[in-house]
Homo-oligomer: A and B are copies of this chain.
Amino acid sequence: MKIRLPQRGWLFDLDGTIYLGERLIRGADEAIAALRADNRRIVFLSNKPLETRADYARKLTRLGIPAAADDVLNSSLVLARHLARLDPGAPVFAIGEPPLVAELTAHGFEVRPDHHVRWVVIAFDRTFDYAKLNVALQAVRRSNARLIATNPDRTCPVEGGEIPDCAGMIAAVEAVTGRTVEAIVGKPSPIILEVALAALGLDARDAVIVGDRLETDMTMGKRLGLATVLVLTGVTAASDPAIAEVAPDLVLPSVRELLIS
């Protein structure tokens, strides 16, 4: 078995690329095993700040792709690492759930319940409420706090539908503070790719991003100079005219075809 591309670093989107909900995409386990057997380095990327990296690792392992927490980068980890470069140890207020707060604490930030902070961190938060919105406003008004967010998604797919995602929290905070979020570190921001490349210790030219979305996975990959592989197992149909516009380096039916048998 041969692998279609020579790069050492491989960044994989998850939902739509490796699995669909709770079902592994056929051959994804084989493809990952073959890459690993060839000593390629792999990172799985997720925009969701809700689950921990260990949660993702357990899910992948359960579906047949043995993985450790370190193999996964999600937007809360990316945010914590990015902010640790900008303002290490800063006091922050977090609009987010316990896994986000744990990630911030683990990276040395002082997570406070009040407005005496330098940053308001905004994430997908199913416990978002008016009191948090008010602390965010006071942090900007009284402490001139800056705003940073995990992911720009409008909604999050769930069993049988979708629920409000981080865009709702971002919009509320921006509307009342009159201030714009400085960075949204998740896809399609190049920040998540930069953090992933740093984790792999590789240059963009020696890396590939594999995903099912043109406007996030492919566009940000091209912008940073990674090789790009579009798979058609997720939201993009083979007939989509935007494929020619974005022009990924490869368009494959699924990750399985990364291998030439």
Residues of A within 8 A of B (CB): 125-130, 133-134, 137-138, 141-142, 154-155, 161-165, 167-176, 178
- Chain B positions within 8 Å of A155 at CB level: 137, 176
A171-B171, A172-B171 as given contacts; A164 in contact with B129, CB under 8 Å: no
Additional A-B contacts beyond A138-B161, A168-B176 (20; CB < 8 A): A125-B130, A126-B130, A128-B130, A133-B164, A133-B168, A134-B163, A134-B164, A137-B162, A142-B161, A154-B176, A154-B178, A164-B172, A164-B176, A165-B176, A167-B175, A167-B176, A168-B172, A168-B175, A171-B175, A171-B176
Complexed CA–CA distance, A215 and B137 (Å): 23
CB distance from A174 to the nearest CB of B (A): 7
A134-B164, A141-B161 as given contacts; A171 in contact with B174, CB under 8 Å: yes
User: How many copies of this kind of chain does the complex include?
Assistant: 2
Residue ID in chain B nearest A127 by CB atoms = B130
- Chain B positions within 8 Å of A130 at CB level: 125-129, 164
- Can you list 10 pairs linking A and B with CB atoms under 8 Å apart? A126-B130, A128-B129, A128-B130, A134-B164, A137-B162, A154-B176, A168-B172, A168-B176, A169-B172, A171-B171
CB distance from A145 to the nearest CB of B (A): 15
CB distance from A144 to the nearest CB of B (A): 14
- Chain B positions within 8 Å of A128 at CB level: 129-130, 133
Complexed CA–CA distance, A129 and B127 (Å): 7
Complexed CA–CA distance, A138 and B164 (Å): 9
Whether the Cβ atoms of A162 and B141 lie closer than 8 Å is: yes
Complexed CA–CA distance, A164 and B128 (Å): 14
Complexed CA–CA distance, A137 and B128 (Å): 15
Complexed CA–CA distance, A130 and B133 (Å): 11
- Chain B positions within 8 Å of A171 at CB level: 171-172, 174-176
Complexed CA–CA distance, A178 and B169 (Å): 14
CB distance from A241 to the nearest CB of B (A): 22
- Chain B positions within 8 Å of A134 at CB level: 163-164
